[in-house]
Copies of this chain bind each other. A is one copy, B any other.
């Protein structure tokens, strides 16, 4: 592998593997060539390939099975993977997503800023209802710039059951990294209250997140509102002064 950009070899391998995944050289859950083989391809040792793949494994792009191979991890929605209080239904039932709508809106000032768009830029707004065992437990709203994701349509969103990361990936070649999540507690507004069947003003857990692609460019903004179930954990029964 040619010494370009003055980065360590294994990091160059990371980039190369990523771009080959992007070029759809290997599909989801399909094994890559073995580390030894990749090493021969790139002209580096197995150990170097390994260190590169290590990074992609912790990023969640790949997964490994000893003695079997290294596989491309399918993109999946952050919330679908999360173990949040309301999402961990009885028996660990997986949450289901119900697409509510997909409309175009104009970005507010702050949002345009964080997404690197000009003020008032057109954004797609995808809204999903999250259900566990039939009950509505959460609401998610995903915002992506039309500029980066042109010609989005409801049909394709629906096809993928609202899995936006997967959509960005398959149709636009944009691989999203999980962004850092900010947590807030907010009172339910009219809209959320109706959909989640709670009182207006009831506390909801809000997850705000900015996802970037692997080059660090901000791509998708999303906000989720989650119902907190009632079982207020009572830590202790009686007290005595120290």
Chain A positions within 8 Å of B, measured between CB atoms, are 84-85, 101-108, 110-111, 120, 123, 125, 141, 143, 154, 182-187, 201-206, 208, 221, 223, 226, 228, 232-242
- Separation of A203 and B186 alpha carbons in the complex (Å): 6
Name A's interface SS.
strand
How far in angstroms is the closest Cβ of chain B from A185? 4
A240 pairs with B85, CB closer than 8 A:
no
- Separation of A125 and B241 alpha carbons in the complex (Å): 10
Chain B residues, Cβ within 8 Å of A182 = 84-85
Residue in A105, A201, A204, A208 whose Cβ sees the most chain B Cβ within 10 Å: A105
- Separation of A234 and B141 alpha carbons in the complex (Å): 12
Give how many copies assemble into the complex.
Answer: 2
A242 pairs with B205, CB closer than 8 A:
no
B233 pairs with A208, CB closer than 8 A:
yes
A235 pairs with B203, CB closer than 8 A:
no
- Separation of A242 and B141 alpha carbons in the complex (Å): 15
A184 pairs with B228, CB closer than 8 A:
yes
Chain B residues, Cβ within 8 Å of A232 = 186
Of all chain B residues, the one with the shortest Cβ separation from A120 is B237
